[in-house]
Amino acid sequence: MGKLDVELILKEMEELLAKAGTLPVEAEQAVEKLGSAVKTLAADRRESAQEVDGRRQQLDEKKKAKTKGLPSTAARMTRPKSGDRSCNPRNAVPAIDARVRT
């Protein structure tokens, strides 16, 4: 169901309710809940579509960077793994002192 379909359903629902006239209280509450659910689902769908678009852009960026031999944005932003000791200054090999005592 596309974006236009949801908007069309809401519009048709409002028109039908206007033609129906007065409804019992329970029916009005049920219709309001259904309308609210449809609006919520439509908003969730929009958010999901935006998330997918963002992920696609990240993937395209990563692919472009990979073909150019450049590190991707995601690769530049990642932290070293917890077992990776190469970045820890305490694990660095001390420089050899020219004044070595024997």
pTM of the predicted model as reported, rounded to 2 decimal places: 0.50
pLDDT digits (tens, 9 = 90+) for 4-59: 677 788 888 889 888 888 888 998 899 889 888 888 888 898 899 999 999 999 99
**Digit-coded pLDDT (tens) for 55-77:** 999 999 998 888 876 555 555 55
Distance separating alpha carbons of residues 32 and 52, to the nearest angstrom: 30
Give me the residue spans of the domains in the chain.
Answer: 3-67
Instruction: Give the HSE-up count for residue 59: Cα atoms under 13 Å, Cβ half-sphere.
Output: 6
Task: Please tell me the predicted confidence (pLDDT) of residue 47.
Answer: 93
Cα angle value 15/16/18 (rounded, 5°)? 65
